[in-house]
Structure 1
Amino acid sequence: MTDLDQLTQSLARNLKRWRAERGFTLDALATRAGVSRGMIIQIEQARTNPSVGTTVKLADALGVAITTLLDHEQGSPVRLVPADQAVRMWSTEAGSATTLLVGTEARGPLELWHWRLAPGDGSTSDPHPEGTVELLHVTTGELTLVVDGTPYTVPAGTSATFEAHHRHTYRNDGSEPVDVTMAVSVPPVR
């Protein structure tokens, strides 16, 4: 498969996903984006490679970044963000600061959690509804995050996000307590 074919397939898959997630009909998205219904059908069926302008219009109408529509990574459902890749938004001479640890594109109910796992302890979760996303930041210790059977090591200072419709487990395989701040975004009920 060529890069262009892969991009066309990714755009088709992602456009369908985000249109469904937003609850937009073909006509509703066409009206919001100023793109013909026929063009949207061709894109969703991977029969055309639209212009950048058309892709931007669709991304804007869906309220997602263009990179979200074009993302064709077929790899892991988990994205780790090391501390050195977090984005400092602002800081003051007095020492105040904000840092964007990790982000994702989702809507619906949003929960914020603090977890503490003692050494050797863990918790397994059944898959959540399709579209559920979890974001987490390890503040102390080293978390072992297992998603769909694959373990990921998440050391203190690292953030991660994953699609939580996969079976997942949080484990502390170390000898120190693990503290995690977690946000869970659940899609709205239709």
Structure 2
Amino acid sequence: MSTDENRSTAFIERLGREVRRRRQTGGMTVQTLADRAGLSRRMLTQIEQGTANPSLVTVDKIAHALGVDFAALSAPSSSEPLAVSEPTEVWRNDAGSRAVLHAAGSRRGGAELWEWTLLPGDRYDAEPDPPGTEELLLVTAGTLLLTADDQAVTLTAGMSARLASDRAYSYAAPAAETTFTRVVQPAT
């Protein structure tokens, strides 16, 4: 198994343990949390057991149903003043595009540092984040087509943007492999 696969497996297992811990602490049954998150009981059980690889949207739905943010479920907890993070591949599609979480703040509403790679012609459609959430984006290679509401902008390497991500939005790589850094600041 490659290092990336080991990290992905560790992420999925850690996510499952944290979902189960928070669900039980909140006094919820699997069915109650599944209903609140809009998931099947089977899917939630597989996530808790670390046998499912949920999408970013699914993890967000679970986080919102638990009253926390994505980072609270996905980042290793640490109360240390300095914590070094291992990059964790959180999303990959069949085409090979991927999203890697590099670090996340330890407090609720803490920032998340991501590295994204989209292959030529690929696109990622995102569900709205909680109200007030923003993203900062820096394109490091290629061209990123960023769309939100009825507005679309094209960013080339070296360009950056701020996105109010509390609406449906998408990333696309129209012609070449595109990499970008994404900092998510959830609403506090």
TM over 0.5: no
Of structures 1 and 2, the one with the larger relative CO (CA 8 A, separation 6+) is 1
Place the TM-score, normalised by the shorter chain, in its bin. Answer: 0.3 to 0.5
